Amino acid sequence: MSADRTPANKAVSETQLIARAQQGDEAAFEALFNTHKRRVYSLCLRMTGDTAEAEDLAQEAFLQLFRKISTFRGESAFTTWLHRLVVNVVLMHLRKKGLQQVSLDEPDGSREEPVKRDYGEDDHRLLGSVARIRLARAIESLPHGYRSVFILHDVEGYEHNEIAQIMNCSIGNSKSQLHKARLKLRELLREEAKNLAPEESELSGLDPER
């Protein structure tokens, strides 16, 4: 099984799978779905914070993908194509729900949000070890306005110019939303840590394998 996991083999087999899916081969559709389902569903879940919505959106994204797969010619990476499609499906859904993503009326960087800070005694490094589960939960409770930019940039790895294009905002706006989102997350995590018992706040270190 491990032999199939090298990047070169993966690319070759994905190309073959796409070709077979273009012929309507169910097994190829299923294999493509299995390869990408976790990342697609996780993105939907983080953007919406709701498992039922995430499931619907992941379904919609995969259906759009498979309906269009015959037009895929391999000019761009399949994964890039798929994830752009997922992001569009999710953002369209959030817009329909009336959830404003970026406050476009705000001039770029005109007003920096002051960093919330305590110059007091307990301003120690509360986030010395941010557990990934806690962070994932905190992201889901971010206000929608900050959440999308944060997820696209810090979780999904998009650049600000790509986000500006996707979200139809300026690059400066994307940058300032990202910074505010990080600060807000820090606040959320610090508040949560303060409410924990002291022994619980000493969370286990970040384990990249987990």
Question: Measured between alpha carbons, how far is 47 from 90 in angstroms, rounded to an integer?
Answer: 7
Q: Based on the number of CB atoms within 10 Å of its own CB, is 106 exposed (0-12), middle (13-18) or buried (19 or more)?
A: middle
3-state secondary structure of 121: coil
- What is the CA 103 to chain-centroid distance, rounded? 19
Taking the complex as a whole, the smallest distance from the CB of residue 40 to another protein amounts, in Å, to 8
Virtual torsion, Cα 7, 163, 75, 12, nearest 10 deg:
10
Task: Give the dihedral sign, CA 40/45/51/55.
Answer: negative
Taking the complex as a whole, the smallest distance from the CB of residue 85 to another protein amounts, in Å, to 14
> Which residues are near another protein by CB under 8 A?
1, 23-27, 29-31, 33-34, 37-42, 45-46, 54-55, 58-59, 62-63, 66-67, 112-119, 123-128, 130, 132-133, 135-136, 139, 150, 154-155, 157, 160, 175-176, 178-179, 182-183, 185-186, 189-190, 206, 208, 210
Taking the complex as a whole, the smallest distance from the CB of residue 151 to another protein amounts, in Å, to 8
Taking the complex as a whole, the smallest distance from the CB of residue 36 to another protein amounts, in Å, to 10
Please, which residue, 24 or 143, has the CB nearer to another protein?
A: 24
Please, which residue, 40 or 94, has the CB nearer to another protein?
A: 40
> Is residue 60 a contact partner of residue 52, using CB atoms and an 8 Å limit?
no
Please, which residue, 11 or 95, has the CB nearer to another protein?
A: 11
Please, which residue, 95 or 107, has the CB nearer to another protein?
A: 107
Please, which residue, 18 or 135, has the CB nearer to another protein?
A: 135
- The answer for residues whose C-beta is within 8 angstroms of residue 38's C-beta and 6 or more apart is none
Taking the complex as a whole, the smallest distance from the CB of residue 112 to another protein amounts, in Å, to 6
> Is residue 72 a contact partner of residue 18, using CB atoms and an 8 Å limit?
yes
